[in-house]
Each structure stands twice: as C-alpha cells, then as structure tokens.
Structure 1
Amino acid sequence: MSAPSRHGVSSRDSRDPIGYAVAAMNKLAQSDLLDRLGIRRQTEKAVFTVTRSGFRTATTAGRAFARAGRRGRAGTRPGAPRSRGVFDLTPTEDEQMLVDVVTELATEVVRPAAADADAACATPDEVLRAGNEIGLPILGVPEALGGLSEERTAMAGTLVAEALAKGDLGIAVAALAPGSVATALSLWGTDEQQATYLPAFTGDEPPAAALALTEPAVLFDALEPGTTATRIDDGYVLDGVKSLVPRGADAELFVVGARLDTGANALFLVEAGADGLSVEADPSMGVRAASLTKVVLDGVRVDEGALLGADDGTTYAECVRLSRLAWCALAVGTGQAVLDYVTPYVKEREAFGEPVAHRQSVAFMVADIAIELQAMRLLTYKAAGRVGAGKDARREIGLARELCASKGMKIGLDGVQLLGGHGFVKEHPVERWYRDLRAIGVMEGGVLV
C-alpha cells in the first residue's frame, strides 16, 4: 500500500506526470554510468563511410513483433493535462528536476563523446544505453502502457531535447529517435498497434526506430511528400525514398510518411524486415552522430493495420508540426551551447593587449546571440505549452520554426566568427555546432515531442 503523503493522499496519486519521469530518471544517480562514460573514447560501433556511395543493405528485423491487441479498437491516449489557469512558461519544480538530470547526462556523457561520434557518424552504444536507462524512449508513453506519463508531456519532451542538445545535437537526435516513434504510437496508435510494438520500447532493450519524413527533393515540402501509398485489396504498397533518417541501418521499425491515392497524406508503420525496403548511408554536413541514412521503399507491401492514425491528412500534419517543435527545442539547446562557449572565450582571448570582449563589435555580437536565443526559447516554450494543453498550436509552431531556423543558423555563424581562426578548426566544438544548426531549417521528422 502506498505511503500517505503530506497532503493526506497516496504518493502515487499525488505525483504529477513529470514526477514519474523524474522517479525513473533518478536511476541515473544510482548507477555507475557517469563514472564509466565520463571520458572520451573512440566508438567501437561500425563506422559509417563518409561517401554517398557508402553502404547499401537490405534490412532484416532484429526481433519479431508478434501481433497483439484488438484490431479496430482505439488505443490508449495520454490524459489531458490539468490547467494551472495562468500563462506561465517557468518550468515546474519537477520539470526542473528532469532538466537537471538530463543536463548532467549531456554534460558528463554526451559532450565528451560528441567529437568522436561526429567523426565516426555514429553514437557509441554506451551513450545510447545511458539514455535508455534514464527513460528517454518512454518519456511520451502513458503509464498505462508501461511509460512514464499520465498526461500529455510536450513541455517535458521539449525540455529534454533542449538539455540533450546542449551536449550535442547529433547524439540528441540519435537518442531521441526511438522515443519519437513510441510517442507517435501513443498519440495515434490503435490498441493492436500499441500492444504489438510498445512492449519492445518499454522493455530492457528498446529497439532503434525512426520517423521518416524528409525526402531528397529540391525545395522539399514535408506537406507534399513524393512517397506514395497505393491502395490494394489487403493493404498498401509504398514506393519512394526517405532521406536523413536517423539510425536507419539499425532501426527495426519505421514510421513513414506517404501520399494516398485520395491525395491525403498518412503515416505507416513499416518493419525493417519488409521486402523491398533497403537502407544506404546518407552522411550529411551536420547531425552526423545520428547515423543518417536513406531509406528506399520499392514496392513495400503493408497490411491495413500498418496505417497509423487517420487517413485524411490530419495525423500526418500533426506529426510534421510536433517534429518541427522538437527541432526548435534542439536548436535552442545547441544555441545555448554556443553562447556558453563563446562568452568566456571572448573574455579570455586577448588581442592588442586586451580581451577581445572589450571591442564593441564583439560585445554586441555576443549580446545579439543572447537576445535571439531567448526569443527562440520563449516561442518554443509557448508552442510546447499549447500542445501540452491540447490547444491549437499551428501558429506558434510555425513562428518558432521560422525563428529557430533563421536565428539558429545565425547563432552558429556568429559563434564561428567570434572564435576567428579557432572557429574554423575542430579543436573547438563551435564549427560542429554551426554545421548542426544549419539542419534546423532542412530536416523534417526524425524526432518529435
């Protein structure tokens, strides 16, 4: 029986949804992960080639997803959040605890591994396991389905993405990609889909999984995908190419966006072992630690139960928006990393007998970074707050996306400029952050909150 709390109710009943996340993530403090992973080491994972010809392989499922649950029955959804009745972007006490734990992971584990992961185009398995141990794959999964939340936790996901990206954006994408698929299943999956796939994510060894929306097309618009889903008697046939898919070579499950015969867009669950599905290397300018790949769908057949959510385009559009919100959070975290790095640098670096920070042009540039970063953060938090409250956030997400894409790139560029010649070499991480920030306006999918 649960012990009574100071309010006279059980601790289980009084704990808010973020409290469940904090309870799970506090396992980090009781483990030796930080001691084992707090040093830089070369990844032992197979290294991706850095050429576009790269590898190309037909994927095979690492595990069998046994069909379970009731077909046609609606799935379990996260509960509606309790309104505080005021507009307040300040994180709650529990949300701040969550940020503190993830920040420790980003500082002690992610940041030391970032340079090697970027060079190898792969995040070390130990770093990914550290993220799994603190509950990243199930942060957006309802407690009733084995996850950590009772209510919609868009703000929690936003704060986690920001905190991880302060360590490294590429590793953050790699660590958050499986949880994004689990969150999609929680938001839109049927009872059968949730019972079939979510137990793997809530188990001891969550599978790699990816949300595939981006395509290799000039002026690609996520709301106008070229990938098609042709209706057949017993399901659909998918044809098309998805690019910049994180951890595609290891993924056991994909959520693929495609256009139906009706002209509406929809999402489909595609297992890695499907005939006609293959993966090839797709190394990019930035976000390299996420092991980006190209997923080719050549006549891939899926049954009717593979359709995730509605077939009228509403689920697909919501998925695109939630993905863009996640990328905004990643931009804020990486931008903060730039600001935290350049501020002491310009104070310590001397030119002509004085710190370069004494030059107005330098001081104003650092101030601009701080101003733009705060604007990005406030817009992103406001959008996340509206999503979590179940309100229409299309306008807020659109504004945040536009600002984070343009100002995020400017923050990266200014960071390189402030370091001068040091900004151009890999001895300092700012050149990597600049390359990563340029992805904000290009990449779709991969992560969502």
Structure 2
Amino acid sequence: MSLISNLRPGGKFGIPSQESRDPIGHLVAGLNRLAQSDLLDKVGLRKQTEQAVFTVTRSGFKTLTATSRAFARSGRKDAPGTRPASAPASGVFDLTPTEDEQMLVDVVGELAGEVLRPAAAAADKECAAPDTVLKSGLEVGLPILGLPESLGGIAEERSAMAGTLVAEALAHGDMGLAVAALAPGSVATAIGLWGTEAQQQTYLPAFTGDEVPAAALALNEPTVLFDVLDPATTAVRRGDGYVLNGTKSLVARGEHAELFIVGAALEGKPVLFLLESSTPGLSIVADPGMGVRAASMTRLELTDVTVPADAVLGATDGSTYTECVRLSRLAWCALAVGTGQAVLDYVTPYVKEREAFGEPIAHRQSVAFMVANIAIELQAMRLLTYRAASRAAAGKDFGKQVALARRLCAEKGMQIGNDGVQLLGGHGFVKEHPVERWYRDLRAVGVMEGTVLV
C-alpha cells in the first residue's frame, strides 16, 4: 500500500473513520456510495440556490477584501516542514499505474462521468461551479491528495503521478469544473512541498478538516508576451515584511478564496508568497475567458499589499518558483489529455452513426484519418505527460520532460479540439453538443500558467 491508506472521513463518497479497511475495501465502498448518491439526480437539473450567481459575462464584480477565516499561527517559523518521500524508482520505463493509483482513478473517473459531466454545460454558462460538484470533490479527498499522512493527507509518498491521473480523469468530465475542484488541493500540495513547519501547522489543518477553504495559485499576469519566470508583480523588503504590487490574472474562484499563493519578483528572483484574502490592499475583479469558464476566473490587483517575512513559501533563489511552474504545467498537460480523450470518445461513435449520401461519414477516408490522428496525438500527449509525472514523483529533474509535454499538449490539444468541431460539422458549432466547449477549454492549455499543480 503506497498511495491510499484512507479516504476523507464522512460524506457520501468518504469512509467512516472508525472502519479499518485495505485499499480495495476503501475504494469499493467509495464506488458504492457514489452509485447510491442522490446527488447524481440533482446535479444539472436545477439552478444553484445556495451559491450567488457569478455572472461575469454581463457586469462582473469587484471586492476590496474577501472575508477570510483567521488562520491560527502555529509551529516554529525556522523549522523545516514535513516533506513527502519520493516514489521508489524501479529503473524500468513502465508508466502503468499502480493498483492503488488505478483504483483511485476509477473512483474519480466515476465522479467525473456521473457528477461533473452533467453539470458542465450549466456551469460553463453561469461561469460558476455548483456547490454540489465542489462538495463531491471534497468528499473524495481531492484537497489532501498531495499531502503525506503525517500532514493529514492520504499519500505515503510524493504523488505527482497520482495527481496527474486524477487531473486527467476529472478533465474527462469537464476541464473547467476540474480546475475549480483541484485549485484548493493545489495550494495545500504546494504548502506540503515547500512550507515551513509553521506554515504547515498554520494552514494545512483547514484543508484536512471538514470546512475546506477555497484557495488559489496565482502566477499568470495580463501582460503582452508574459514570461511566467519573470513576473511583473514585485515584492520589496520593508521593515520585517514585504510589500507586493502588481496584477495576477486567471485565478480560479478568487472571489471565494481565503488563501492565495502569489508569484512576485523579489530582488530579481521569482518568489512565492502566501497571501490571505483579508489582507488590506488586495482587490478581486472578474476575469472571464473563452474557456475554462466553470472555474470562475478572476484577477487579483495588489496595491501596497503588506505581508510578513514568514509569508515567503520555499526558497528565495527562484528554485521553488521554477518547480511550481513545472508542476503547474504538468497539471495542465494532464487536463489537456483528459479533455482530448473526451473529444475522441465523443466523435468516434458520432462519425459511425452520422450518415451522409447513404452511408456513415466514418466510411470517408478524410474523416477516418482525422479520427485516427486524434488518437495518435492523444497517445503521444499522454506518454510525455506520464513520463514527466513519473520523474517528478521520483524526485528526479523533470524540466526537459515537462517542457516537451507542455509543447505537445498545447499544440496538439488545440488541434484535437479544432478537429472535434470539424468532425461534427454544424453540430460542432452549437452548444447542443459539448465539443465546442472542449475546443474552447483546450485552447487554454497554451496560455495558462499556475492555477493548479500536481
């Protein structure tokens, strides 16, 4: 047992804390509860009444400081935090998921197909993820997936591979909802990877409890020719803290978030900072895009935002920031693979059933070759992504591998979305079919930085 020793206690998808089971027992129980959940009958069938509608397409919104819980300071400031152990390397180039990883993917895949997919169209229209969908993600333990058991998580070793598989499975349901569900866990994973003992004991208990806060990773900026490794947002030392100024864009569910990880340049080096939403000088503005709309993208405007010295997450030499960027790009590659697979799974039966001139259009070579090309490129994207994830999980350098994966997924992912629309013809252009939404989502892979990581 290397990955899953328990699932989040309680909830329709969780396991009671008193029960003691092996991994198979946990996941079988999770699947049973998923199948029996009345949540599946509700998602997408009625408008959200428990969440204010985030109608950014019409007027947007702006808030000065969001209401935030008081994170109780704890732990020693200068003590190193707990780190997850690297996954053992067998030396064999085998990217087959382990038994534990496959069982986890089965549970998340069921969740994506039965909960995310039915809610996707309405969530895209409203630019908001339903509370029911977000709650389902919490119940299967998404926020603690990347945390070791010693910090209240479910992993016994670094889980970059598991996180990649989960992101892919969720994106097969819907990329926007996947981003919304994964955003809090991305912040928790980052604190688990690079946080000090004080940072971990201050913030992580909230993510492992019953009331998980919304949180977001903010690296992207709305500038021309933006280079994520050279942020325009600045951090200046002042007294015993830092003053942040700048703008961060494409921040998932920023209007609800209580904690952000913000990237800024400090003395010429990119650095990560922990920023609570109640900090004076922080304002949040709607930042909708053409795709990934269900994630309720926002923009953070930082005007003389003062944070304490212990708000720095990880090293100040740029190494932590660079690793964060790489893990984020790995997550986006996984999301592209999952959405690309959704396109392939949808167009394959469509071209076999759709008839023109008395025969299925799949009989045309141009159509058959286009579907085959989607399958070929998708397998290449998956192979490169898994290769990068396996090296990250083993604690090896994966910069080259993730760069190759990102390049391929950005280009071929967009091509898969375009071909999916083309194969459906006029049907691909209308919202009656989900392919046009997947096309818009896949275009985000080449421009998104941060937001989620594995």
Common fold by TM > 0.5:
yes
Partner of 1:223: 229
Secondary structure of the corresponding residue to residue 77 of structure 2? coil
The residue aligned with 1:147 is 153
After superposition, residues 3-402 of structure 1 pair within 5 angstroms as: 15-20=1-6, 28-29=30-31, 31=33, 34-38=37-41, 39-41=43-45, 42-44=47-49, 45-51=51-57, 54-260=60-266, 262-402=267-407
CA–CA distance in structure 2, aligned partners of residues 199 and 373 of structure 1: 38
Aligned partners of 2:3 and 2:101 also within 8 Å:
no
Aligned length: 434
1:5 is aligned to: none
SS at the partner of 2:30?
A: helix
Q: Tell me, what secondary structure is at the counterpart of 2:373?
A: helix
1:25 Cα offset (Å): 5.8
Partner Cα separation in structure 1 for residue 288 and residue 173 of structure 2: 21
1:94, distance to aligned residue in structure 2 (A)? 1.3
Query: Could you list the runs of 5+ residues in structure 2 that have no partner in the other structure?
Result: 8-22
Per the TM alignment, residue 255 of structure 1 is displaced from its structure 2 partner at its CA by 0.1
Contact preservation (8 Å) 2:180, 2:252 = yes
- Secondary structure of 1:207's counterpart equals coil
Q: CA RMSD in A?
A: 1.4
Q: How much does 1:394 deviate? A: 0.3
- 1:418 corresponding residue in structure 2: 423
Cα deviation, residue 58, structure 1: 1.5
Q: CA deviation at 1:83?
A: 2.4
* Kept after mapping to 1: 8 A contact 2:328/2:449: yes
CA 1:384–1:164: 2 relative to 1, 3 Å: same
* Corresponding residue SS for 2:236: strand
Return the offset for 1:52.
Answer: 7.5
Flag structure 1 segments of 5+ consecutive residues without an equivalent: 1-14
Aligned with 2:265: secondary structure?
A: strand
For 2:38 and 2:405, locate their aligned partners in 1 and report how far apart those are by CA, in whole Å.
37
* 8 A Cα contact 1:37 1:126, kept in partner: no
Q: Deviations over 1:8-65 (max 9, x none)?
A: xxxxxxx212454657666633546743234423333222223475100122333110
Which piece of structure 1 moves more, 136-145 or 42-51?
42-51
SS at match of 2:404: helix
